[in-house]
Structure 1
Amino acid sequence: GALLDAVNAAGILVVPGCGVEPGLTEIAARNLADKLDEVDEVHIKCGGIPVEPSGPLDYKIVFGGRKLPIREADARIAVGGALQPVPRYSDVETLEVAGVGRVEAWHEGFMPWLLDLDKFKGLKLGTQKTVRWPGYAAKVTALKELGLLSTQPVDVDGVTVAPKQVVDAVLYPHVKMADADRDVTIMRVDVSGRKDGLPRTYRVEMVDWYDEELDITSMARVTAFTGAIVARMIGRGELDATGWVTPEKVITGKRYKRLLRDLHDAGVELTMTTCKTKVLGA
């Protein structure tokens, strides 16, 4: 479009989607993939939830204004290096997260630009799931199946309104963050494949809590810190690229280590673990 043409004509670098998700999740996935010789699967799970579940959905809006981040459109997964639609809120997994407890994750949308990376072109399976307190997917699926998430207007006693608008308006008092509410952001990225001929899985995990000192949500701070750190890299001329480039294509190697170090300095910790398979008798 016109914006992309203007960026290219100016010879500058624009890094879009540079928050938590999209952003940090794809950056982590790419850098884990770079540790492997071949990549088979990537599974991303991320979400911001209230520390204390309450209300009809056990959820509070931590970003995006007054509208709930729920929709009826299909989600996407990657199979054989290509995107496939799947029902949103399906394939619910249960996770145990240290310090948080049991949560659920369900299909949202695999970021298509990940498939541009050489390591992911033949990806056997790629998923990207949203994390919520247990039971959320079942409740929202009921709303979806009833047609209440539709954005197509319907006539109600001579008034035209989209069902989703009504749902947002009715639910907002129940999902609005109160002054006493606190949030936690959960991110888990698993990339599996082969290294030196043997199966190996790498995991990066983050559990970040509301910032009491600055009085800002975890979601806001991790989003802003990630974007600000990358913006500083651009300002210092450390990213040797121009055009419209998603962050996982430029935040690699030493720049990824710099991002992790700067996030650490800001109080955001990402931890990595490795699962290796040994040769019998070795």
Structure 2
Amino acid sequence: MKKIVVVGAGKIGATIARLLSHSGDYQVVVTDASAANLSAIEKHPAVSTLELDIRAPSKLAEVLKGSFAVLSAVPFHLTVTIAEAAAAAGVHYLDLTEDVASTREVKRIAASAKTAFIPQCGLAPGFISIVANDLCKKFDKLDTVRMRVGALPVYPSNALNYNLTWSTDGVINEYIEPCEAVVNGVITEVPAMEEREEFSIDGVTYEAFNTSGGLGTLCETLKGKVRTLNYRTIRYPGHAAIMKALLNDLGLRNRREVLKDILENALPATVQDVVIIFVTVTGWKDGRLVQETYARKVYGEEIAGMMHSAIQITTAGSICAVLDMLADGTLKAEGFVHQEEIDLDMFLKNRFGRYYAAPQVENVRAA
């Protein structure tokens, strides 16, 4: 069995450890600075825990020695520390970050590494880029790529129409940081929370707006090939207006810890959620302008006797699928690996990637 170190014992880290250990092919060590978080990790013969403050990279590098890979499931500001420790220990590195600056640093570290560095292995960025690139390959010439993703409560019950289903730090970061996009063929930055739109799926109305990080490395990959490329987060109508008031009118974009405390103490968590994936590509085939769309909904489900939320399943399932593909030789084992290099069919056939194989959504229309 391959030894895997998972850094971070939160909801996603715990789900990663659970999926890998129940597969029977991995021995998992979960590290975290919080003994309380570690105590909540499911007891399993293939799982051990270690209390560790990773802000001391040399200590983490020592823990990583002899491992096949390290998987980062911690907030984005710790990403580079873990990547540097992976390089020092000579192990493969995978993360879930949506942070653009962190990913650039990981790419810099990967340039001289002898192992694989695969950032952004979650839902968005991550799976969304795999889907978009698969659709792009069907065209002779591209025009527009629009990517929309949301993790939403099935039963919204507050003014924000939202429950905490993912990292609070990550949500705040993507609501504040500038967003990459391609506008009229030029890579540019657009402001977060802007360019709001509405559409409906299966009779339910949603809004979507710019958020940071969801494109991953697609701007670089599709540079010079598309006229328009953008990513927006899906929420229920009304969410963006309230969040903009908190961030801008009350100035909480400059007081992230205060905003985090408010959200974590006001919004309950839930496992009754739905992940919506909606990608539309337009371009030319055989001289005609045509459109291809990928639309899916993924719900929470029970895995190995325990209920998991949709965002837990999709995020943890994605990074586990990429790890599997690295372990079996499907992916290259050295240097920086872009998510869009991963084949969609191979991903969906993987034992972890199969959680994304939901039926196609048919009833989609602009509001």
Which structure 1 segments of 5+ residues have no match?
A: 152-161, 274-282
8 Å Cα contact 2:117/2:335 also seen in 1: yes
Match of 1:171 in 2: 263
Give the counterpart letter for 1:203 in structure 2: T
Residue 226 (structure 1) aligns with: 318
Does 2:214 align with 1:93? Answer: no
Query: Cα distance, 1:196 vs. partner?
Result: 1.0
2:168 paired with 1:78: no
- 1:136-147 equivalences under 5 Å are 136-147=239-250
Distance 1:227 1:115 in 2: 21
Alpha-carbon deviation of 1:82? Answer: 2.8
Q: Is the 8 A contact 1:41 1:126 kept in 2?
A: yes
What's 1:205 paired with?
Answer: 295
CA contact (8 A) 1:205 1:272 kept: yes
Do the aligned partners of residues 205 and 222 (structure 1) sit closer, same or farther apart at CA in structure 2, a change above 3 Å counting? same
- Structure 1 position 247, deviation (Å): 1.4
Question: What fraction of aligned residue pairs are identical, expressed as a percent?
Answer: 24
On the 8 A contact 1:80/1:122 being kept in 2, the answer is: no
My pick for the range that moved more, 128-137 or 52-61, is 52-61
8 Å CA contact 1:43, 1:126 repeated in 2: yes
Matched residue type, 1:251 = I
Structure 1 residue aligned with 2:166, among 60, 63, 79? 63
TM-score (norm 2): 0.63
What is the Cα deviation at residue 210 of structure 1? 1.3
SS at 2:165 equivalent = coil
Instruction: Give CA deviations for 1:10-65 in whole Å, capped at 9, x if unaligned.
Output: 52222211110000111111111111011111000001011111223111111115
Q: Indicate if the aligned counterparts of 1:81 and 1:115 stay in contact, CA closer than 8 A.
A: no
User: CA distance change for structure 1 residues 270 and 41 in 2, over 3 Å: closer, same or farther?
Assistant: farther
Structure 2, unpaired ranges of 5+: 1-79, 88-105, 363-367
Please give the alpha-carbon distance, in whole angstroms, between the structure 2 residues aligned to 1:67 and 1:267.
Answer: 22
Moved over 6 A (4+): none
In 2, Cα distance between the equivalents of 1:60 and 1:174? Answer: 9
Please give the alpha-carbon distance, in whole angstroms, between the structure 2 residues aligned to 1:114 and 1:128: 10
Please give the alpha-carbon distance, in whole angstroms, between the structure 2 residues aligned to 1:241 and 1:208. 30
Matches within 5 A, 1:15-54: 15-54=118-157
Tell me: CA distance 1:66–1:227, structure 2 relative to 1, closer, same or farther (3 Å): closer
> Is the Cα contact below 8 Å between 1:96 and 1:102 reproduced in 2?
yes
Query: Which gives a bigger RCO, structure 1 or 2 (Cα 8 Å, sep 6+)?
Result: 1
CA contact (8 A) 1:191 1:201 kept: yes
Report how many residues are paired. 254
**2:252–2:258: 8 Å Cα contact kept in structure 1?**
no
**Structure 1 residue 269, shift from structure 2 partner:** 1.8
Q: 1:270 to 1:21 in 2, by over 3 A?
A: farther
SS of equivalent to 2:148: strand
Cα-Cα RMSD: 2.6
The verdict on how the C-alpha distance between 1:234 and 1:72 changes in structure 2, with shifts beyond 3 A counting, is closer
| Residue 114 (structure 1) aligned with residue 218 (structure 2) | yes
Q: Could you tell me the TM-score, scaled by structure 1's length?
A: 0.80
